[in-house]
Structure 1
Amino acid sequence: MKLQKVLSALVTVLMVALLVVATSASTSAQEPKQNDGEDQTNLDTQLYLIVATNQSVADEKLPAALDSVVKQLRATLPFKNYRLAATLLNRVKNEGRLDLSWIGAPIISAQSEVSPLTPSFSSFKIRVVKLAKNTAGETVVQMAGFNFGARFPIQTMSVASANAVPVINYENTGLQTDISIREGEPVIVGTLNVGPSGDAIILVVSAKRTSR
């Protein structure tokens, strides 16, 4: 009789223990897992599209952040005027990627020639944006697979009629490269000559860690 009571008590204790273990496992499975070792650093990237021209247009004031870039452009390129066509600000995770596509006004056209019927098509991609150290131990931002492309309208001729109709063709231009830049410092990535007028698109990029 005593043996039966002992066995019954042991079975009860075992069942309670199994129930506690099962409840604990279920609770742990429902709790979100936290990976304290994962890098949560983000970077703000800025792409500036600058149009360089020798046409008689107003020489616009560019942002103060580009003063060093403008000084370099005026010292090395033979253009009279520079204007900022677009600024793209995007946030990307460290070791993440960036992929943008957009439609806008013609990049190289004068303001009086802008037409909703002749937009430009652009794309900007970076395969990997990554913080790293250079040989001097300075923090740099690596941009692997930097890719800018654009399709822009070019007027090739006009159809003779009472109201001359322009003939528009779209031309492709672009740049692909891998670069490393100092954090927070705008740098010239490349220059693309476009259009029959000899204008150029200058690509300037910068990146820095976000404060939050």
Structure 2
Amino acid sequence: MKRIALIVFLSFAAFAQNQKPAEDEFNNIKEYKNKIFTIQNGDVRSIAGAIKLLGSGFKGAEISINEELRTITARDFPENLAAMEDAIKRLDKPAPKSADIEMKISVLIASKTPLANAALPDELAPVVKQLQSTLRYSYYGLMTSMVNRTTLGNGIRGSGVAEPTLLGMTASQDRPVFYEYSLRKITSADPTHSTIDIDDFNFSMRVPIDVGTNNIQYQSVGFNTPVSIRQGEKVVIGTTTMRDKALVVVVTASVN
């Protein structure tokens, strides 16, 4: 009889232990509250992943997102919801405004002989003086220049038709010179933006070449290279030859 009583007691104890988690779970669910958080600035999915760590982790507690409505819905204990709300206030901040950057691209033609109608801005005179001491060309003229504005983290693309006079041609010959350029991903690792980095600087020009009587073909010249520029400095990005002349590209970067 005592053995039967012991078995009954143990069975009851086991049943009571099994009931305890179920009761706790039920009590937890009764204490859960629901809250919807609206995300104004940040990435909904990223913020949801961060505040998920603040959840209780108990069964029935959950977090869901609606990227279209930019909302996060949470179901948990009130103290966990309060912690999530505080975290969202810290995380949901407007992204810092990217610095405005201005890129000035100057295209020079270099020659061993004087260039007709060659003009050169005073600001490029120091660059040309340096080029004359390092390259085998004595004469330089500005073919075209472009000014582009963008923000750090972005890039620049452009194209146009250049003045052909410096190449020994006239506009009346109807032989336009085409150019295009792209600057991919302009960044600055320096908080003061003293140095500007360009992942890839690409410049190309299509120049008409005589290949026979009344017969011309366009030849592409140019280069592409990664670039690092100190703000305010005029930097020679690249040079390429065109018969007895050379194409020289100079870039200046400034950040506002």
1:100 aligns with 2:169: no
Normalized per residue, the structure richer in strand is: 1
In structure 2, the residue matched to 1:206 is: 252
Asked whether 1:179 is paired with 2:227, we answer: yes
Q: Is the CA contact 1:43–1:208 (under 8 Å) kept in the aligned structure 2?
A: yes
Partner of 1:44: 102
1:121/1:57 CA distance change after superposition, 3 Å: closer
SS in 2 for 1:141: strand
Of residues 132, 136, 155, the one that matches 2:210 is 155
Q: Secondary structure at the match of 1:96?
A: coil
CA distance in 2, matches of 1:150, 1:108: 14
Higher helix content, 1 or 2? 2
Match of 1:114 among 157, 163, 171: 171
* Corresponding position of 1:161: none
Matching residue within 140, 146, 161 for 1:88: 146
Q: What residue in structure 2 maps to residue 127 of structure 1?
A: 184
Q: Distance between the aligned counterparts of 1:57 and 1:151, measured in 2?
A: 20
* Higher radius of gyration, 1 or 2: 2
Q: Tell me which of 182, 199, 219 is aligned to 1:144.
A: 199
50-59 or 73-82: which moved more?
50-59
Q: Number of aligned pairs?
A: 172
Q: Is 1:191 aligned with 2:248?
A: no
Deviation at 1:67, TM superposition (A): 2.6
CA contact (8 A) 1:45 1:206 kept: yes
After superposition, the Cα gap between the structure-2 partners of 1:126 and 1:182, relative to the gap in structure 1 and judged at 3 Å, is same
TM-score by length of 1: 0.71
Q: 1:69 aligns with which of 121, 124, 127?
A: 127
How well do the aligned residues superpose, as a CA RMSD in angstroms?
Answer: 3.0
Which structure has more relative contact order (CA 8 Å, sep 6+)? It is 1
Deviation by residue 1:39-58 (Cα, 9 ceiling, x = unmatched): 23111101000000123335
Q: Is residue 132–residue 139 contact of structure 1 (8 Å, CA) maintained in 2?
A: no
Aligned to 1:54: 112
Q: Which runs of 5+ in 2 are unaligned?
A: 1-37, 39-68, 70-91
Note the C-alpha offset of 1:121. Answer: 1.8
Q: Percentage identity across aligned positions?
A: 27
**Distance 1:35-1:171 versus aligned 2 partners, 3 A rule:** farther
* Residue 115 of structure 1, CA deviation: 3.5
| Aligned residue identity for 1:48 | S
Give the C-alpha shift of residue 35 in structure 1: 5.5
State the Cα distance separating 1:98 from its structure 2 match. Answer: 0.5
